[in-house]
Structures are given as structure tokens and as C-alpha cells.
Amino acid sequence: MGRGKIEIKKIENLNSRQVTFSKRRNGLLKKAKELSILCDAEVGVIIFSSTGKVYQWSST
């Protein structure tokens, strides 16, 4: 039994949106690192938050 599907839509509550962004950002960066290690690939990720802050990661 898997997880139920959720509707993808904008989170109206600003605090909830920021918490979700932080969690998903960390998950995305972890996946990028795993991809780099498993496939011996050069990977780069740039993320812009809704507040204009930039997050970046590269495997090299």
C-alpha cells in the first residue's frame, strides 16, 4: 500500500510554504549528490527561493 497522491498547488500559508521548501530543497540536494556518486557524473543544482535567496551545489 503506497502513499496517497496529493494535489500539486501553491501552498498559501507562508510559514508552511517555507518549511516545505526547506525540506524539499534538502531532499533535492541529497538526490543530486547520490546521482553524482552512483553515475560518476558532474552534477550542478541552483535553486532560487521565493525570497530571492540562492542555493547552489555542485559535485566538482
Q: Per-domain residue ranges for the chain?
A: 14-58
Q: In the predicted model, is pLDDT for residue 1 greater than 90?
A: no
pLDDT band at 6 (very low <50, low <70, confident <90, very high): confident
pLDDT value, residue 56: 97
The phi and psi torsions of 2 (rounded to 5 degrees) equal: -90, -175
DSSP track, 12-41: -SHHHHHHHHHHHHHHHHHHHHHHHHHHT-
Bridge partner residues of 54 (DSSP)? 48
Q: Kindly report, residue by residue over 13-56, the tens digit of the pLDDT.
A: 999 999 999 999 999 999 999 999 999 999 999 999 999 999 99
The predicted model scores a pTM of 0.80
Angle in degrees, CA 15, 50, 7, rounded to 5: 65
Q: In the predicted model, is pLDDT for residue 2 greater than 90?
A: no
Tell me how far apart the 2 most distant CA atoms of the chain are, in Å: 39
CATH homologous superfamily of domain 14-58? Transcription factor, MADS-box (3.40.1810.10)
